Amino acid sequence: MFSGKLGVNIKPFDKADLSLKSSAANSFKVPTFNELYWIELGNKNLRSEKSISFDAGFYYSFSFIADTKIEVSYFNINTSDRIVWTPDARGVWRPLNIGKVKSEGIDAGIRGGVKLFKDFTASLGFNYNYGTAIKKSKDSENDETYNKQLLYLPQEYAKSSLNLSFEPSGKLVKIIALNVFYTFTGKRYINAENTRFIPYYELIDANINLTLNLFKTETSLKFAVNNFADADYEVMYGYPMPLRNYKLQIGIKY
């Protein structure tokens, strides 16, 4: 099957780092080996996904208090025979084709960085995505799954990050960095009729990195705290995720 993509990127002003961009494409995705032949779970009758997509947005970079980059995009994807893993009446997950699915949304992000002192920099980033993936075909005249959001796909997702880094001029310590991440994941429906859902959850992760120059090698030490706020949450229904946990990582580059 033929597939292709056509895109355009326009810079309307010479003195401003502003770009307007857009693209349109068609594509297809064949079922994976597991989707077709996984013992007792695969579906050998699966058809390949076919989609037509369009996106448009802009990118803008400027420097005021900090070097700042802003990017906003709108996307629209129409898919036929989309492959989705769905639980049956016994709760066993199997792949099947959904006749038509329309995905639409906005992705927006902003990132800025500033040099506070000679060897100290700080950067802050934020990304927000709002999108829907709606079933647009009926399996029967009274199909209660028609015009409903697909399983386990949140409509809202946001992530922000803060980075503080210090690069001393000494020979031993190359960089000391603190990173903090915040993630918001919106509610996800767990049945095709959209009557049951897993609530939204928020996560905070943090880590400290120390990079040293030791004996002609670059040694890195990383201490991470995941789920800092000890949130009780689920990604999949009935499978609780780890509470606060810690990780120590050592790396040597030579």
On the CB side of 99, how many CA atoms lie within 13 Å of its CA? 9
Which CATH number does the domain housing residue 74 bear? Answer: 2.40.170.20
Q: Is it the case that residue 195 has pLDDT exceeding 90?
A: yes
Q: Answer for the pair 233, 226: CB distance below 8 angstroms, yes or no.
A: no
Domain count, the chain: 1
Tell me the percentage of the chain whose pLDDT exceeds 70: 100
Tell me the percentage of the chain whose pLDDT exceeds 90: 80
DSSP characters over the chain: ---EEEEEEE---SSSEEEEEEEEEEEEEPPPHHHHHSTTT--TTPPPEEEEEEEEEEEEEEESSSEEEEEEEEEEEEEEEEEEEEE-TTS-EEEEEEEEEEEEEEEEEEEEEEE-SSSEEEEEEEEEEEEEEEE---SSTT-TTTT-BPTT--SEEEEEEEEEEE--SSSSEEEEEEEEEEEEE--EESSTTS--EEPPEEEEEEEEEEEEEETTEEEEEEEEEESTT----EEETTEEPP-SEEEEEEEEE-
> What pLDDT was estimated at residue 46?
95
Q: Is it the case that residue 170 has pLDDT exceeding 80?
A: no
User: What digits encode the pLDDT tens for the residues 71-82?
Assistant: 999 999 999 999
> What pLDDT was estimated at residue 79?
97
Residue 140, phi then psi, degrees to nearest 5: -155, 175
> What pLDDT was estimated at residue 66?
84
233: containing domain: 4-253
User: What digits encode the pLDDT tens for the residues 74-115?
Assistant: 999 999 999 999 887 787 889 999 999 999 999 999 999 998
Q: How confident is the model at residue 206 (pLDDT cuts 50, 70, 90)?
A: very high
